[in-house]
Each structure stands twice: as structure tokens, then as C-alpha cells.
Amino acid sequence: MTQKHVLLPVPDAAVRDGANSRKVFIKTYGCQMNVYDSGRMADALARDGYQPTEDMQEADLVLLNTCHIREKAAEKVYSALGRLRDMKKQRAAEGREFMIGVTGCVAQAEGEEILRRAPSVDVVVGPQTYHRLPEALRRAKGGERVVETDYAIEDKFEYLPDTDKAKIRARGVTAFLTVQEGCDKFCTFCVVPYTRGSEVSRPVSQIVDEAMKLVDGGVREITLLGQNVNAWHGAGPKGEEWSLGDLLYRLAAIPGLARLRYTTSHPRDMDDRLIEAHRDLRTLMPYLHLPVQSGSDRILKAMNRRHTAAEYLSLIERIRSMRPDIAMSGDFIVGFPGETDADFEDTLRVVEAVRYAQAFSFKYSTRPGTPGAELDDQVPEAVKAERLERLQALLLKQQHEFAESCVGKVIDLLLEKPGRMPGQLIGRSPWLQSVNVDAKTSRIGDIISVRITGTGPNSLFAEVA
């Protein structure tokens, strides 16, 4: 589980309030969508004069934006809440306000249980109702302990404030844009359908409008987000249904938008229009995250993935025939209930066949409420650990081989942030690798031509071409 602090520029309301402005610290766990959600929650709170801070000690409000994918996610949240409880007692003794909120997927899954186990929490808000956060905080200040975890009837995106240009510029030259939420796939290992709800697609007009505002604010690369992003089917300008491929063609036409990406995809939703977009759109980066989870047909069926290993490999072949330079990324779960040595060897064979540029792999962990948690024949932890070690060794070898294959290539590099050394800048390659380059005459946001000169453990080195 990754943890990130979402820090945003001082909103206008906070500037007007001056010393009386309140400060919010948001700790974000998990996926890119949670990062996006944290930003939008901060935007909503800005209207009430909340100024973001990176120092929890000076915050008047602390929000934990949580993820429920990994094992013991809820317990980690309760542990953090224990520390915040002590801070709240100290603030009370000083006569200072201090509020605590839990948002995101753990909030959705636990609901009232959070208030029972952590009496210091003021508000609990699920991922479908974070647009109600400011109102929930106002109610909490009146003495109510608030839980908002129903699946909102209204479109939360319609109720969120626009992000102004200054805040967009402060966030950088790349941005996430949520286009789809929820999941209808019901993989037996996954809690997402129960915490994010069924698949919902934002309309084209709403997405294009947000994308244009991002570009107008200086964003050069947009990554479209969704639990099953390629299952997006939104309403077009005349009410007709568009596919993700259609949307990518439309977004690629926005002047000033240099790069497009999307994540995370499901193999069942890679249709012809989307594959053709990879062939036709130079704006669409040649990198695709397409999880397979297992290489065993028997385990894939038990996972309810609804595709076979052969179908997945055939799909990869079709995509590469359209875009030969595409780099593949994937997700893997080892030790799913009933997985045998032979099943695991099937997974290794898929990895060998695909040759991933990057991948994420995990030991299976039971998620309460999912069908997988009820299955017999759970794999011993020691076996899972040994299999994961073997799989990760192979994936790391492939990642290093892909990085080595880039040495000597001349690529376009989007410069995103300063490096550690004077004159050094860091950007992302078309294949999402971090690249360090001495570019004293260039600026963040520029796309420059560089030659890859070497590899490091987790990045590449380049010189201006």
C-alpha cells in the first residue's frame, strides 16, 4: 500500500481569511483514484476556508483517505486513529479545535464501526459521497457524529467546485482525471464492487470540460482513471453511447494536450476501437497496464476473471501488432485458494510469454465479504511467500531487461520536476519510466528530445539529444 500526502496551493478563501484560516492535512492511502479524490476533497473544503498543510501538527482537520485492497488495511487505519486520538486530547486541553475524518474505501466498508471503535472520529465519508464532506463537517461541529456511506443518487462530480488555474499549475504538468468508477466484474478476490459500487461512467461533456481546464492550467499529460477504465461507456454530445476509444480520439484533439494515458484496464473490455486508438494516436502513450492475475485457467475461473490465459496472450499479440513499441504492465496474485505448483508454473509461463516492462505482484490475502474468503484449500503463507519471491525475481529481471533495451534510444521526455543535482530535471519516458537528465536550458513542462545513456535501480539517465 502506498501512502501519499496530497498538498494543494493556498485557496483564495484561505488567503482572504488570513490568520483565521483553518488548515487541513490529507493522508492518502492506495491507488491513483484516491489521490484524485483527495485533491477534489481539498477543492471542496477550500470553499470553507481550509488551507492545505503538509504538517499534521498544525492542522485543524486531519482526513485519512483510505484504501481497502490490501490485507489489514482497516487495522492500519485504526492504528493511525489511535495516534490522532492523542493529538485530539492535547488540542482539547489547549482549547483548540481538532477534527478527524475517515474517507475512502475503509470508510465505506466499516461505516458505523469506525465511530464505535474510534470515538475521536467526527466524520466518516465513503468514496461516492465525498462531495458532501463540507456539510458533514458543519454537522459534526454541531455535535453530531456523521456517517455518509450511502451510494449517492446525485452525481458527485456535478457538486464539486471547479479547480482554478493557480491550483492546477501548483499541482504540476501531469494530472489524473477520473472518468469511471465502480466495478461490475466481481472477481472473487476483490472488495472494490462492495466499496466503490457498480460501474458508473461520467458523460463526455463533463470529461472534456475538465480536461480542457487542466490543459488551460498548464497540464500537458492526463491519465484517465477508473476501477475498470476501459469499461467506460459515457453519454456523447447527442446522448449516444461512446466507448473509451472514442473518448481518447476526442481528448487527443484538445490543443496543448501532449500526452494521454489510462489505467486500470480489464482484458474483457479491450475492444477494437480502443486497440485502434493505440495505433492511430501518437498522443496516447505506448504503455498499457493490463492485469491478468494468474496464468492458470483453473485459477482464473475460480477468480471469476472470465477469460483464459490463451485469450489474454492473444489479446497482447493483437495490441502489439497495432503498436509494436508498446510496453506492457500487469498485476499478479499468487497463492489464491487451491493454487497448485502446476498452476503457479502456468503463471510463470505467461510472464515469460508477455515480457513485462513493469508489474505488480502480491500474495493473496482474504478480504472479508468477498467470495474468495469463503473458499477452502487456502495456500500456506510459506508457500505463498516462496512463489511470490520466484515471480518477483522473474518480473524484476524483465523490468531490468526492458530498461537496458532503452539505452541508446532517442525519446521524447516530458520534464516534470527538479532533480537532486543542480541543473538536473526529472521526467517520464513514453513507457512511464523516471528519467534523469541535465537540462539547464529547459523548463518543467517542456518536452525535449533525449538519448538514454544508462540505467539505475528504478530510473534511467539521459542526455539532451
- Amino acid in the structure at residue 6: V
CATH number reported for the structural domain that contains residue 359 in this entry: 3.30.750.200
For residues 64 and 176, membership in a common domain is answered with no
Note whether residue 114 is domain-resident.
Answer: yes
Task: Specify burial of residue 81 (Cβ count, 10 A radius: 0-12, 13-18, 19+).
Answer: buried
Chosen domain end from 385, 405, 425: 405
By residue range, what is the domain housing residue 343? 286-405
For residues 112 and 219, membership in a common domain is answered with no
For residues 373 and 439, membership in a common domain is answered with no
Q: From start to end of 128-173, where are the E strands?
A: 146-148
Note whether residue 167 is domain-resident.
Answer: no
For residues 26 and 89, membership in a common domain is answered with yes
Question: Which residues partner with 327 through β-bridges?
Answer: 287
Give the C-alpha separation, 430 to 409, whole Å: 12
DSSP string, 373-388: GG-S-PPPHHHHHHHH
Note whether residue 89 is domain-resident.
Answer: yes
Contact 149, 66 (CB under 8 A): no
DSSP string, 20-59: G-EEEEEEEESSHHHHHHHHHHHHHHHTTTEEE-S-GGG-
Helix intervals (H) in 172-294: 192-195, 204-216, 244-252, 272-280
Chosen domain end from 94, 114, 148: 148
CATH number reported for the structural domain that contains residue 20 in this entry: 3.40.50.12160
The conformational region for residue 293 under phi > 0 = left, psi -120 to 50 = alpha, else beta, is left
Note whether residue 161 is domain-resident.
Answer: no
Query: 22-29 and 3-5: which strand pairing?
Result: antiparallel
Contact 190, 231 (CB under 8 A): no
Give the C-alpha separation, 390 to 352, whole Å: 13
Note whether residue 380 is domain-resident.
Answer: yes
Give the C-alpha separation, 175 to 266, whole Å: 22
For residues 310 and 193, membership in a common domain is answered with no
| End-to-end CA gap in the chain | 37
φ/ψ of residue 57, rounded to 5 = -65, -25
For residues 359 and 418, membership in a common domain is answered with no
Give the DSSP H/E element, type plus range, for residue 260: strand 259-263
- Amino acid in the structure at residue 350: V
pLDDT value of position 1:
34
Note whether residue 364 is domain-resident.
Answer: yes
Contact 46, 14 (CB under 8 A): yes
Give the C-alpha separation, 294 to 334, whole Å: 7
Chunk the chain into consecutive blocks of 10 residues (it has 465) and report each block's average pLDDT, rounded to whole numbers. 37 41 90 86 88 92 87 82 93 92 90 93 90 92 91 64 64 92 93 87 95 95 96 95 98 98 96 98 98 98 97 98 98 97 98 97 88 91 98 98 98 95 94 95 95 95 95
For residues 188 and 139, membership in a common domain is answered with no
Give the C-alpha separation, 33 to 40, whole Å: 11
pLDDT value of position 149:
86
Contact 446, 412 (CB under 8 A): no
For residues 126 and 48, membership in a common domain is answered with yes
Q: Is 359 helix (H, G, I), strand (E, B) or coil?
A: strand
Chosen domain end from 284, 311, 337: 284
Give the DSSP H/E element, type plus range, for residue 360: strand 358-363
CATH number reported for the structural domain that contains residue 457 in this entry: 2.40.50.140
For residues 256 and 390, membership in a common domain is answered with no
For residues 49 and 135, membership in a common domain is answered with yes
Grid-cell match 489474454, residue found = 312
The 3-state secondary structure of 316-339, one letter per residue: HHHHHHHCCCCEEEEEEEECCCCC
Query: Could you tell me the CA-to-CA distances from 125 to 77, 104, 156, 329 in Å, in that order?
Result: 14, 7, 13, 32
Note whether residue 159 is domain-resident.
Answer: no
For residues 218 and 290, membership in a common domain is answered with no
Give the C-alpha separation, 87 to 65, whole Å: 18
CATH number reported for the structural domain that contains residue 235 in this entry: 3.30.750.210
Q: Which three cell numbers stand for residue 348?
A: 510463470
Note whether residue 164 is domain-resident.
Answer: no
Give the C-alpha separation, 305 to 294, whole Å: 9
The one-character DSSP state at 119 is T
Q: Is 357 helix (H, G, I), strand (E, B) or coil?
A: coil
The conformational region for residue 206 under phi > 0 = left, psi -120 to 50 = alpha, else beta, is alpha
Query: What domain count does the chain have?
Result: 4
pLDDT value of position 67:
85
Binding-site residue positions: 31, 67, 105, 183, 187, 190
Query: 200-201 and 180-181: which strand pairing?
Result: antiparallel
For residues 21 and 140, membership in a common domain is answered with yes
Binding-site residue positions for [4Fe-4S] cluster: 31, 67, 105, 183, 187, 190
